[in-house]
Structure 1
Amino acid sequence: MSSSRSHVRWLTLALIVALIVINYIDRSAVSYAVGPLTKSFGITKSQYGLISSAFSIGYMVFAFLAGPLVDRYGARRILLVGVAIWSLVTAVTPVSGSFIGLFVARIVLGAGEGPGFPAATRTVSRWLPQKERGIALAMVGGVAVAGSLLIGGPLVTQLIAGVGWRGMFWVLAVLGALWLAAACMLLRNTPDDHRGVSAWERAHIAAGQLEEERTSTNRVQWRPVLTNRNLWIIAVGYFAWGFMFWGFMYWLPDYLSSQYGLSVTAVGLFTVAPWAAGVVGAILGGVITDRVFARTGSPRTRLTVMGVALLLSGAALVPITVAPSLTVSVTFISVGVGLGFVTGGIWWVAAIDAVPSQPGVAAGFADAAFALSGIVAPSVMGFIVSSTGSFSSGFVVMSALAVIGAGSMLVLPKPYRRRLDPAPDGKADLAAR
């Protein structure tokens, strides 16, 4: 083990960020190949709608189930298995041959990607002290997600143009295999498992962890999870933000084209702004939550930051319903998405704070709520648009849910039993609250 000041924790974080980028590009790739794929397989639009939901169903179920597996067997093993599954499914997608084959493939893809965030959350909780987790998980849950949406479209469409729609899936499968090879060599469950971690870095990490985070839990304890008020509050808030996220992800292009008569290329240009704002918001959220925690030492501040950001995010959509125009819509949707992404990585930090002994289970619980919104939001928005002929009511629902989620985080949290107090020497001491 090295005696110098190593920084292996940041290499580990880089691996996780790369994983999430590949994760989101893989899951969205099918939408760019929908034309040739549905034609080749003889799939109708209604069948394609079911295929779109299949991913979220598989993802929601296995995000929840993966949490106990991550806490029992470690993040590394579960991630390696998950990436192997989703890379294989990505490779066979273009030859699945029928509606049933593609439906099953999307469920399995969701199952393979489900462990991603629970495993990433446990990895961060074991590799970084509390004061560094805000920016770290902002990179994982915010920058990587919004960034993948920024680069995914151009990357996938260029691949389709260069190697065909089937070749595009195969290239993405190779990317997953390359990550798998790198993770086998570089990724470990804890700093103690990695020979490159110096004594200084191990001490630095340990000084900012709770005792529960320095020990392993082999048996899942469901009662502390299912009866944890703060974890339920996190789930409600994450569902509220997820409704806005998935609603815009699926319906923003159609809204801009149908409401303002934009061409496909113009829509592509205008949809860049919200996700670019999301990258900025995610970084800002990580910096703010780390600085506030460094000053207060209180995990409660994570929920306060998220509550304020979500409340402002919902309020930002009001001008779109009051005085709609292309400029107003793009501007305030971007503001709303940017403010929403301030919470992007803090959900996972808050989940660790709520159940520090079982971060994988806690993260899976929260992620299942987010995945549920991914099933509900597209359907509800579609029903609203088809029944009213307008998107306005959908924006009202987004704002209302944001207020509910924000209110629960600002008003209802139960005081945390333990916290890390900042000390004059920069280290943290455990104290009862």
Structure 2
Amino acid sequence: MTAALQPPRGTAWLIGALVAAALFGNYYVYDSIGPVADLLQQQRGFSDSQVGLLNAIYSLPNIVLILVGGVLVDRFGAARMTLVTAAICLAGALLTAFSPNFTGMAAGRLLFGIGAETFSIATLAAIADYFGGRSLALAMGLALAIGRLGSFSADMSPTWFAAAYAQTWQQPLIIAAAIAATSFAASVVYWRVDRRPREAGLLPTGRTAEKLAWRDLLHFGRAYWYLLALCVLWYSVILAFRSTFSIKYFQHVHGLDLATAGQMNSYVFLAAVFATPAFGWLCDRFNRYAPFLAFGALLLPVALAVMALTHWSLWVSTALIGVSYSLVPAVMWPLASRLVAPSRFGTAIGLMWVAQNAGISGANLVAGWLNDRAGASAANPAGYAPMMEFFGIASMLGLLCALALWLTAGRRSHEKTVRV
């Protein structure tokens, strides 16, 4: 898109603000399960396996659907798909909040998951439409930062909405559904604002949907496969622990009340809002990616060990996880673009997202099963040890993949005189 065809900057930044608002609601709803996990056990008798499934089932449909989500966005446009998927997410949030039993709540989270990942692709495509060639990285970074404020807000909700949490498990989820409604409203406004510049020819009217070419996988080098394995292992630990079980763990093992546990968990997301763009800038400035990625991967098992094996302040492990959560995503996706040919980048990212969703689902299910098997509870805090061992082993395997990637990519870049 040439400069002459670009929409006015004021319109572009309005779209950016609307997309950011929509992402805020989407992130909030995803992370709304963790703060109510203990209430679901106390008031509804849910097991940890069931609580884990409420987040695992979000990722399950995207093991397949993420392969077609980008094609749908290309075919029907970012604005229309943002609107449709935001409506699906709202329906899922409402079903989760108002279901009378576990089956209904699980169906709601499944419906939310069906919409949410394609929603994420559509919102990123929206920013690319309006900021292609000008301030793209800044606009995308700001939108994602606002989205992570949604995660921070979900963890802070026991403090901000203490009266709701003092009533029943349902009130906090009704608040999440109301925030999902604001996400849908922002998507409606974006869809309406988008129509005029698109009809005026200031935006692309259509793109050819990229097909997933399985034969291209044969051309990916070892460094890419190490990066994919790291992506699966690291995200599985981060999201299964931080978004599902960490608040319960802080309450039962470290004796925090619900509000304090939510605050402790929230600072990881708050740090990422500011640190992720900064780390990305730092890696670009030094033009080194693999060493930073290995360092970020190292911090996760160290943080888990500090949390599970010492009596140090939780601030130590929270700070370590916060740096890891900020650094790894800032490096992972730019590094992926250096490890595969541009013509295969879409296939490479799509495959990573598929594997990532499978890993997150599996980690949630395994962690919940381990907690139930060991009888983890406030009365038996030692029962959480198998779950922490599982997360520790997975994070160590991720570190090994990061080190192998560093060595492999280092040899590859030396041969091509490109540093990674």
For Structure 1 versus Structure 2, the TM-score category normalised by the shorter chain is 0.7 to 0.9
- Structure-2 separation of matches of 1:383 and 1:28: 20
Q: TM-score, normalised by structure 1?
A: 0.72
Q: Is the 8 A contact 2:24 2:183 kept in 1?
A: no
Could you tell me which of 336, 342, 364 is aligned with 2:327? 342
Could you tell me which of 65, 69, 87 is aligned with 2:68? 65
- Structure-2 separation of matches of 1:408 and 1:54: 32
Q: Which residue of 2 aligns with 1:284?
A: 278
Q: Which residue of 1 aligns with 2:397?
A: 401
- Which letter does structure 1 place at the counterpart of 2:154? G
- Structure-2 separation of matches of 1:54 and 1:271: 22
- Structure-1 separation of matches of 2:118 and 2:6: 34
- Structure-2 separation of matches of 1:393 and 1:43: 23
Q: Is the 8 A contact 2:156 2:266 kept in 1?
A: no
Where 1:220 maps in the other structure, the secondary structure is: coil
Q: Which residue of 2 aligns with 1:424?
A: none
Q: Is the 8 A contact 1:282 1:345 kept in 2?
A: yes
Instruction: Tell me whether 1:177 sits opposite 2:184 in the alignment.
Output: yes
- Structure-2 separation of matches of 1:336 and 1:240: 15
Once the two structures are superposed, the pairs formed by residues 221-370 of structure 1 within 5 Å of their partners are 221-223=212-214, 226-227=217-218, 228-229=220-221, 232-246=225-239, 247-292=241-286, 301=288, 303-304=289-290, 307-314=293-300, 316-317=302-303, 320=306, 324-327=310-313, 329-350=314-335, 354=340, 356=342, 362-370=348-356
* CA apart distance, 1:116: 2.9
- Structure-2 separation of matches of 1:319 and 1:370: 23
- Residues 402 and 16 (structure 1 numbering): CA distance in 2 closer, same or farther, change over 3 Å? farther
- Structure-1 separation of matches of 2:215 and 2:254: 50
Which runs of 5 or more residues in structure 2 are unaligned?
375-381
- Structure-1 separation of matches of 2:329 and 2:336: 13
Could you tell me which of 209, 215, 229 is aligned with 1:218? 209
Q: Is the 8 A contact 1:118 1:359 kept in 2?
A: no
* CA apart distance, 1:15: 3.4
- Residues 419 and 73 (structure 1 numbering): CA distance in 2 closer, same or farther, change over 3 Å? farther
- Residues 366 and 187 (structure 1 numbering): CA distance in 2 closer, same or farther, change over 3 Å? farther
- Which letter does structure 2 place at the counterpart of 1:150? F
Once the two structures are superposed, the pairs formed by residues 7-18 of structure 1 within 5 Å of their partners are 8-18=11-21
Q: Is the 8 A contact 1:21 1:147 kept in 2?
A: yes
* CA apart distance, 1:397: 1.7
- Structure-1 separation of matches of 2:262 and 2:187: 32
Which runs of 5 or more residues in structure 1 are unaligned?
203-212, 421-433
For the aligned residue pairs, the C-alpha RMSD in angstroms reads 4.4
Q: Which residue of 2 aligns with 1:153?
A: 155
* CA apart distance, 1:355: 6.1
- Residues 61 and 241 (structure 1 numbering): CA distance in 2 closer, same or farther, change over 3 Å? same
- Which letter does structure 2 place at the counterpart of 1:178? A
- Residues 361 and 17 (structure 1 numbering): CA distance in 2 closer, same or farther, change over 3 Å? farther
* CA apart distance, 1:323: 6.2
- Structure-2 separation of matches of 1:182 and 1:28: 25
Once the two structures are superposed, the pairs formed by residues 7-86 of structure 1 within 5 Å of their partners are 8-32=11-35, 46-86=49-89
- Structure-2 separation of matches of 1:352 and 1:121: 17
* CA apart distance, 1:107: 1.3
- Structure-2 separation of matches of 1:249 and 1:377: 12
- Identify which range, 31-40 or 362-371, moves more after superposition: 31-40
Once the two structures are superposed, the pairs formed by residues 179-198 of structure 1 within 5 Å of their partners are 179-187=186-194, 193=198
> Which digits, 9 at most, give the CA deviation of each residue in 1:350-392, with x for residues without a partner?
5566464576655443222332232233344445665574265
- Structure-1 separation of matches of 2:356 and 2:325: 13
Q: Is the 8 A contact 1:71 1:220 kept in 2?
A: no
Instruction: Tell me whether 1:112 sits opposite 2:112 in the alignment.
Output: no
- Residues 243 and 123 (structure 1 numbering): CA distance in 2 closer, same or farther, change over 3 Å? same
* Identity score, percent: 18
> Which digits, 9 at most, give the CA deviation of each residue in 1:33-61, with x for residues without a partner?
56787899886665444334322212433
Where 1:262 maps in the other structure, the secondary structure is: coil
Q: Is the 8 A contact 2:297 2:328 kept in 1?
A: no
- Which letter does structure 2 place at the counterpart of 1:284? A
- Which letter does structure 1 place at the counterpart of 2:293? G
Q: How many residues of Structure 1 are paired with residues of Structure 2 in the alignment?
A: 394
* CA apart distance, 1:284: 1.8
